[in-house]
C-alpha cells in the first residue's frame, strides 16, 4: 500500500492510529519513502485536512483511520469531498478477512457504509489486488467529475506478499482533473452564439472553474465581451474579487440584494461548473421561467437537472473555454459588449457602501463586518482563508477582497458540518506552506474540533484562527428569530474563553471585546511565526442589523410625534375603507349634517377637489373589496405583531390584550351596516353579538339606548401611545439606532440612487432611506419624481382626564363614528375628521360634536378635565398605504396608513426591514406599490 501510494505521487497522509493499522504503520516506519504522515486527534479531522490539501494543491488528498469507530468517523469528510468534487482517498484498515461474520470487535460492513458517499469504494480481500485497486481508486477520483474514493484494507492481508512488478501508477492520476474531455463538435459554437444573441447575459461560476484551472480562459472570455461574472460560494476565485467584471457571490449565503439584481435582470444565465443548486439560486428563485440557460459542466448529470437548458456543453472547463475563445478569435464581425463592468461597478459601490457603514459602526459589540474588514486590510494577497459554514461564512462570502484568481478560499458548503475549518486549515497549510492561512469559525464550531489544536502546535503551523464568539449556534438562532418569532429553543450555550483554551494548547492568543483593539490583534497574530488565535466577542447573528439613523422634527413620544394622538386601538379588523358604495350619493348630506363627524373648511375645497374626486372614484363595490383585501394582510395579525415588537422592552407595559366592540342603538342599525361586516367576515373576523340586558352586563356605563354590541375578541389597545412610542425609541437606541432631531428637506442621488439625506441640520450619508414622515411624505416623494395623491385627514381627540363610569374596553360608537379607549390618563375619544389642509388652526365644531356624542354615549361619566388635540393622518386617495421602494432610488416608502398607522406599524416595519435586507416576503406587496398612481 505504501509503495502504491508513493507511485501515485502521494506526499502527505493524514490519519489516526488503531489496532488494525499496526502493519500499515510499521511499513510507514520501516520503508524509505517521501510521504509525510500527519498524526491527527480525530478521524474527521484527518479527512478535512485531506480535503483542504486537495483543494489548494490539485493533488489527491489522502487520509486513513482504523476499523469500527474510525471508519464511521471518517465519513463526514468523505461525503463533503465527494459532493464538492475534490479527490480525497480514505484508507480504513479493517478486521481480518478470516474473522468476518464471527462478531469480532469493530466489525462493520465498510463497503456498504461507504458506498453512497464515494465515487469508488471497495474492501480489498487479497493483497495482490492492492496495486490494482489503488490505481482504480486514483483513476476514479481524478477523471471526469473528481470525487472521493475509499479503500478498505483488512488486517491479515497487510502481511501478505504483493508482486513488485504490479506496483505502478499513471502519472496523470497524481493530479486532477486528469484525462480532460473536450466538448463534442458544434457544442461550443452553439453556446457562444446563444450568448452573443442575449441582451444582458450573466455568467455564474461554480467550483468547477477553479478545479479545472480555467481562470485565465474565463477572464479572457468575459473581458472581450464585457460580460459580468457571478459565482457560487465554491466558485469564489474564478476571477479575483477585485476584477472589474467580478460581481461576487449570488444566492442565499453571501449573496446580497445588489448582486441578486443582476441574477434577476439577466435574460440569459451561463452556468459554468455550477450545479445551480438551492443556495446559488436562492432555492430556485432565479433564474425564473423564461430566462435562457447555457450550461458548461464536466458532469453530464448536472445539465438540465434544474432548468431547461438551451445549450449544454459537457467538457472540462479549461478545454471548453479555450475552444470558446478560439471560436471568437476566428469569428468574423464585431463582437457585442454587454456593459458588465459598468453594471458591476455600480453594484459594488452600493454593496460596499453598506458594508463600510457597518464596518465603521461604533456599536457596543463588534459586528462581523468589522472582522471581515480587518481581515481584508491585513491578510497578505496570497493568503488562504478557510471558513466554517456558520457565522463567518456569509460575511466572508459577500465582502472578501481576494486579489488573485484561484483557490484562496475554502468552505465546506456541500454538507456544512461544523468543526471543519479548524482542521482543514492545517491541511491547506501542508499543501501550500508558503502562504498565510487564516481559519474562521464560530464558538460552536470551535468546540467541535479544538482538540486538533495540539496537532497544529505540534506542526508549528503559523495559522491564525479567528473565533466569532456569541455563545450560540448563531445561524440556527437567527433562523429561529426570523422564522419562529423569536422562539429560541436549545441554541444557546455558556460562554467559553476560547483564547484560554487555545493558550493551554500552546497557541499565542488574544481576546478582543472592543472594535478599536481588533486591528492591532490581527496584525500581531498574522505576523507571529507560530499558530495564533483571536477570540472575538461579537454581536449575535440574530441581532445583526444595518446601522439606523432616525430623523424626526420632534422627540419620540412628544405631542407632535408619530401616533401620539391615535385612538390607541390595535384594530386588526379595520379592513373596511370609508369609501364604500353609496358614499358619492351620501356625501352632500354627510358634509351638511352638523351631527355627522365629517367637516370641511370650505375655503380649502378648490385645493382638495382633485384628491377628493380620485378618492370618491373608489366608492364602488369592486374597488372597496380590492382595498379591503389589500388592508387585511397588514392588519389581521397586528396584536401578535405588537406583542412581538414590545416583548422584553419597556413598551410592553403599555400594551393590553382586550376585546374591541362596535356599539349600535339597535339590531336594525347593525344590519344597516351589513356591507362593512361582510368585508370583515371575508377577512376572517366574526363578531360575537350581545343584545338587550347582555349589553349593559358587558358595558354597564353605556347609555340605555345602546342595545347591541358586536364584540371582536383577540384585539388590544395601547394605554398611552406617546409613551409606547417613546419606549420603543429607547429600545431602538439600546440596539444602536441614532436619533437626530431635524427636518428632512431633500435627498442627494448619484446615478439615481440615494446617497445623502439633506436636513436642516447636518447632511447624512446613507445607502437606503425609509420615508415615513406621514402626510409630509408626499412633498419629499415628489423630489424623487413620485407624485402621490395624498391629503391630510385632520383628526381630533379629547382626553377626559381621570374619567370614571366610562367603558372597560375600547369601543367604536357607530352612531358618532368615534372610538373610546380607556387609557392611563383617562378616556380618550377620537375619530372626528376634518379636511382643511396642514396650516389651518384647530376648529371648534369637531370638538363640540365629539363632546356631545361622548356625553350621549356615557351619560354618567365624570372626569377632572379635558384635553383636546389635533393631528394629521396621511390619506392616499385609494385608502392603501405605500410600502416599498420608490423606483430603484434606495428610498423606501412607508406612509399613507390613514387611521391604521399605529395598528399596522410593526408589520409595515418588518416588511420594510425585510425588503432592505433582501428577505423574501410571504405576502403580495403589489397593493402597496408606491408606483401605482
pLDDT mean over 573-594? 85
The CA distance from 549 to 547, in Å, is 7
Q: In the block, which residue shows the cell 390584550?
A: 657
Per-residue pLDDT of 349-359, as tens digits, reads 989 988 888 88
**Distinct helix (H) and strand (E) counts, the chain:** 32, 36
Model confidence band, residue 665 (pLDDT cutoffs 50, 70, 90): very high
**pLDDT > 70? residue 98:** yes
pLDDT of residue 831: 85
Model confidence band, residue 476 (pLDDT cutoffs 50, 70, 90): confident
Per-residue pLDDT of 11-21, as tens digits, reads 999 999 999 99
**pLDDT > 80? residue 541:** no
**pLDDT > 70? residue 112:** yes
- Return the minimum-mean-pLDDT range out of 333-342, 372-381, 917-926: 917-926
Model confidence band, residue 215 (pLDDT cutoffs 50, 70, 90): very high
- CB distance 841 to 580 below 8 Å: no
- CB distance 202 to 342 below 8 Å: no
Backbone angles phi and psi of 251, in degrees to 5? 115, -160
CA-based nearest residue to 272, from 320, 328, 336: 320
Backbone angles phi and psi of 267, in degrees to 5? -90, -15
From the number of C-beta atoms within 10 Å of its C-beta (0-12, 13-18, 19+), residue 492 rates as: middle
The secondary structure of 655-722 as a DSSP string is EEEEEEEEEESSHHHHHTTHHHHHHHHHTT--PEEEETHHHHHH-TTS-TT--EEEEEEEEEEES-HH
From the number of C-beta atoms within 10 Å of its C-beta (0-12, 13-18, 19+), residue 721 rates as: buried
**pLDDT > 90? residue 561:** no
**pLDDT > 70? residue 839:** yes
Dihedral over Cα of 126, 127, 128, 131: its sign: positive
**pLDDT > 90? residue 438:** yes
- CB distance 400 to 241 below 8 Å: yes
Per-residue pLDDT of 381-409, as tens digits, reads 999 999 999 889 999 999 999 999 999 99
pLDDT of residue 99: 92
Model confidence band, residue 414 (pLDDT cutoffs 50, 70, 90): confident
Model confidence band, residue 333 (pLDDT cutoffs 50, 70, 90): confident
Percent of the chain scoring above 90 in pLDDT:
85
Model confidence band, residue 113 (pLDDT cutoffs 50, 70, 90): very high
Instruction: Compute the residue count for the chain.
Output: 933
- CB distance 70 to 44 below 8 Å: no
**pLDDT > 80? residue 589:** no
Per-residue pLDDT of 247-278, as tens digits, reads 999 998 889 888 999 999 999 999 999 999 99
Q: In the block, which residue shows the cell 378616556?
A: 827
**pLDDT > 70? residue 514:** yes
The CA distance from 147 to 138, in Å, is 10
The three-state secondary structure class of 839 is coil
- CB distance 59 to 389 below 8 Å: no
pLDDT of residue 930: 97
pLDDT mean over 325-340? 94
pLDDT of residue 836: 94
Model confidence band, residue 812 (pLDDT cutoffs 50, 70, 90): very high
Secondary structure element (H or E) that encloses residue 868, with its range: strand 866-876
The three-state secondary structure class of 508 is strand
pLDDT mean over 514-533? 96
Taking the mean position of all CA atoms in its chain, how far away is CA 229?
A: 22
The three-state secondary structure class of 2 is helix
pLDDT mean over 524-538? 97
The mean of the pLDDT values for the chain is 94
pLDDT mean over 363-378? 91
Percent of the chain scoring above 70 in pLDDT:
99
pLDDT mean over 635-651? 93
Alpha helices (runs of H) in 568-673, residue ranges in sequence order: 583-592, 605-616, 621-635, 638-646, 667-671
Amino acid at each position: 500500500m505504501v509503495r502504491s501510494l508513493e507511485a501515485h505521487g502521494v506526499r502527505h497522509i493524514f490519519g489516526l492510529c488503531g489496532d488494525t493499522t499496526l502493519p500499515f504503520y510499521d511499513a510507514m516506519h520501516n520503508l524509505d519513502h517521501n510521504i509525510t504522515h500527519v498524526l491527527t486527534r480525530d478521524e474527521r479531522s484527518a479527512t478535512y485536512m485531506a480535503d483542504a490539501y486537495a483543494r489548494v494543491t490539485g493533488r489527491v488528498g489522502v487520509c486513513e483511520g482504523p476499523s469500527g469507530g474510525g471508519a464511521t468517523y471518517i465519513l463526514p469528510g468523505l461525503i463533503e469531498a465527494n459532493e464538492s468534487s475534490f479527490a480525497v482517498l480514505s484508507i480504513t484498515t479493517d478486521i481480518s478477512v478470516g474473522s468476518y461474520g464471527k462478531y469480532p470487535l469493530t466489525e462493520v460492513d465498510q463497503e456498504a457504509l461507504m458506498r453512497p458517499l464515494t465515487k469508488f469504494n471497495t474492501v480489498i480481500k487479497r493483497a495482490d489486488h492492492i496495486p490494482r485497486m489503488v490505481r482504480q481508486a486514483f483513476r476514479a477520483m481524478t477523471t471526469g467529475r473528481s470525487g472521493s474514493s475509499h479503500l478498505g484494507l483488512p488486517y491479515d492481508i497487510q502481511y501478505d506478499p504483493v508482486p513488485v512488478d504490479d506496483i505502478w501508477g499513471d502519472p496523470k492520476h497524481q493530479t486532477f482533473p486528469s484525462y480532460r474531455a473536450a466538448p463534442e463538435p458544434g457544442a461550443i459554437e452553439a453556446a457562444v452564439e446563444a450568448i452573443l444573441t442575449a441582451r444582458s447575459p450573466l455568467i455564474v461560476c461554480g467550483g468547477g472553474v477553479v478545479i479545472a484551472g480555467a481562470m485565465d480562459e474565463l477572464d479572457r472570455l468575459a473581458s472581450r465581451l464585457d460580460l459580468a461574472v457571478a459565482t457560487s460560494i465554491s466558485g469564489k476565485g474564478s476571477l479575483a474579487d477585485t476584477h472589474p467584471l467580478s460581481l461576487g457571490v449570488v444566492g442565499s449565503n453571501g449573496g446580497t440584494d445588489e448582486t441578486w439584481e443582476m441574477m434577476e435582470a439577466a435574460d440569459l444565465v451561463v452556468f459554468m461548473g455550477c450545479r445551480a443548486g438551492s443556495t446559488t439560486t436562492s432555492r430556485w428563485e432565479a433564474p425564473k421561467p423564461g430566462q435562457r440557460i447555457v450550461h458548461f459542466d464536466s458532469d453530464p448529470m448536472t445539465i438540465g437537472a434544474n432548468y431547461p437548458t438551451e445549450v449544454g456543453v459537457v467538457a472540462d472547463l479549461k478545454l471548453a473555454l479555450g475552444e470558446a475563445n478560439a471560436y471568437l478569435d476566428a469569428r468574423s464581425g464585431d463582437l457585442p459588449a454587454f456593459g458588465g463592468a459598468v453594471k458591476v461597478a455600480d453594484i459594488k459601490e452600493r454593496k460596499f457602501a453598506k458594508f463600510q457603514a457597518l464596518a465603521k459602526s461604533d456599536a457596543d459589540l463588534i459586528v462581523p463586518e468589522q472582522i471581515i474588514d480587518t481581515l481584508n486590510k491585513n491578510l497578505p494577497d496570497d493568503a488562504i482563508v478557510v471558513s466554517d459554514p456558520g457565522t463567518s461564512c456569509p460575511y466572508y462570502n459577500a465582502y472578501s477582497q481576494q486579489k488573485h484568481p484561484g483557490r484562496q478560499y475554502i468552505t465546506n458548503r456541500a454538507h456544512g458540518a461544523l468543526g471543519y475549518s479548524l482542521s482543514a486549515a492545517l491541511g491547506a497549510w501542508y499543501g501550500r506552506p508558503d502562504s498565510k492561512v487564516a481559519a474562521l469559525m464560530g464558538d460552536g464550531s470551535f468546540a467541535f474540533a479544538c482538540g486538533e489544536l495540539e496537532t497544529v502546535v505540534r506542526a508549528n503551523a503559523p495559522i491564525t484562527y479567528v473565533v466569532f464568539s456569541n455563545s450560540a449556534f448563531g445561524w440556527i438562532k437567527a433562523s429561529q428569530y426570523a422564522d419562529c418569532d423569536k422562539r429560541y429553543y436549545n441554541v444557546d450555550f455558556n460562554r467559553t474563553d476560547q483564547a484560554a483554551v487555545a493558550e493551554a494548547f500552546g497557541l499565542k492568543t488574544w481576546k478582543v471585546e472592543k472594535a478599536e483593539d481588533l486591528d492591532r490583534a490581527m496584525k500581531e497574530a498574522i505576523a507571529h511565526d507560530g499558530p495564533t488565535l483571536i477570540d472575538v466577542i461579537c454581536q449575535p447573528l440574530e441581532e445583526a442589523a444595518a446601522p439606523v439613523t432616525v430623523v424626526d422634527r420632534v422627540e419620540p413620544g412628544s405631542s407632535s410625534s408619530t401616533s401620539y394622538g391615535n385612538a390607541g386601538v390595535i384594530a386588526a379588523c379595520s379592513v373596511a375603507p370609508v369609501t364604500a358604495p353609496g358614499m358619492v350619493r351620501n356625501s352632500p348630506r354627510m358634509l351638511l349634517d352638523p351631527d355627522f363627524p365629517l367637516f370641511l373648511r370650505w375655503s380649502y375645497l378648490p385645493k382638495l377637489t382633485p384628491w377628493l374626486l380620485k378618492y370618491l372614484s373608489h366608492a364602488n363595490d369592486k374597488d372597496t373589496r380590492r382595498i379591503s383585501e389589500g388592508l387585511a394582510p397588514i392588519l389581521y395579525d397586528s396584536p401578535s405583531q405588537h406583542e412581538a415588537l414590545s416583548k422584553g422592552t419597556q413598551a410592553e407595559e403599555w400594551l393590553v390584550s382586550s376585546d374591541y366592540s362596535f356599539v349600535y342603538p339597535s339590531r336594525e342599525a347593525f344590519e344597516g351596516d351589513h356591507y362593512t361586516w361582510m368585508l370583515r367576515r371575508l377577512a376572517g373576523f366574526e363578531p360575537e353579538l350581545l343584545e338587550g340586558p347582555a349589553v349593559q352586563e358587558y358595558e354597564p356605563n353605556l347609555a340605555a339606548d345602546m342595545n347591541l354590541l358586536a364584540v371582536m375578541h383577540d384585539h388590544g389597545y395601547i394605554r398611552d401611545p406617546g409613551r409606547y412610542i417613546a419606549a420603543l425609541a429607547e429600545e431602538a437606541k439600546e440596539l444602536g439606532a441614532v436619533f437626530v432631531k431635524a427636518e428632512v428637506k431633500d435627498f442627494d442621488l448619484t446615478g439615481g440612487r440615494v446617497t445623502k439625506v439633506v436636513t436642516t441640520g447636518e447632511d447624512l450619508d446613507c445607502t437606503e432611506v425609509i420615508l415615513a414622515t406621514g402626510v409630509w411624505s408626499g412633498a419629499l416623494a415628489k423630489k424623487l419624481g413620485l407624485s402621490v395623491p395624498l391629503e391630510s385627514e385632520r383628526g381630533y381627540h379629547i382626553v377626559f382626564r381621570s374619567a370614571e363610569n366610562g367603558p372597560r374596553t375600547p369601543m367604536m360608537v357607530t352612531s358618532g363614528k368615534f372610538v373610546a379607549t380607556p387609557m392611563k390618563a383617562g378616556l380618550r375619544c377620537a375619530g372626528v375628521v376634518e379636511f382643511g389642509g396642514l396650516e389651518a388652526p384647530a376648529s371648534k365644531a369637531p370638538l363640540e360634536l365629539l363632546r356631545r356624542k361622548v356625553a350621549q354615549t356615557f351619560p354618567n361619566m365624570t372626569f377632572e378635565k379635558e384635553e383636546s388635540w389635533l393631528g394629521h393622518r396621511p390619506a392616499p386617495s385609494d385608502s392603501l398605504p405605500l410600502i416599498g421602494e420608490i423606483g430603484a432610488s434606495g428610498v423606501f416608502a412607508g406612509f399613507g396608513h390613514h387611521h391604521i398607522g399605529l395598528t399596522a406599524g410593526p408589520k409595515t416595519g418588518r416588511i420594510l426591514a425585510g425588503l432592505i435586507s433582501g428577505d423574501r416576503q410571504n405576502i403580495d406587496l403589489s397593493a402597496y406599490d408606491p408606483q401605482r398612481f
